[in-house]
Amino acid sequence: QVQLVESGGGSVQAGGSLRLSCAASGRAFSSFAMGWFRQAPGTEREFVAAISWSGGSTYYADSVKGRFTISRDIDKNTVYLQMNTLKPDDTAVYYCAAKTGSTWSRVAGSYDYWGRGTQVTVSS
C-alpha cells in the first residue's frame, strides 16, 4: 500500500505561482512513476504531468508545458509540482497519483494509488 497526501494548494491571482507537494508513505517510493492530475467541477480528471521512477524523465500536458515543473525528492519521499504563470483555467482540485512500474502514463486509470487532492483557485 502507498499513502499519498497533497499539500500546497490555495488561492492566487492570475500570473501567480504555487508549489504543490505530495508526500508518500508505505511501499518504496522510488519504485513508482508519479503523476499529477486535476479535475474541475463538471469535467473529467485530466493529466497534468508525470515523472519517471528515477526522476530522469518528465512529461507534461500541452496546456501546462513551459509553466509547470514536476520533480521528485526520493530521499524525502515527495513529489512536487511547481506552477508558475497560473491562469483561471488552472482552477481545479489537483491530485497526486502513483503508478507501479517505471513507465509513465497520462491515463488516470493506469495509476494505482491516489491522494485526496488539494484545491487550487486562480482568480482573474
Per residue in 4-27, pLDDT (tens digit) is 999 999 999 999 999 999 999 887
Cell of 78: 515527495
Question: HEC states along the chain?
Answer: CEEEEEECCEEEECCCCEEEEEEEEECCHHHEEEEEEEECCCCCCEEEEEECCCCCCEEECCCCCCCEEEEEECCCCEEEEEECCCCHHHCEEEEEEEEEECCCCCCHHHCCEECCCEEEEEEC
Residues 2 and 111 sit within 8 Å (Cβ to Cβ)? no
User: Residues 80-124: pLDDT tens digits?
Assistant: 999 999 999 999 999 999 998 778 899 999 999 999 999 999 999
The candidate with the shortest Cα–Cα distance to 20, out of 116, 109, 113, 88, is 116
What are 55-83's pLDDT values in tens digits? 789 999 999 999 999 999 988 999 999 99
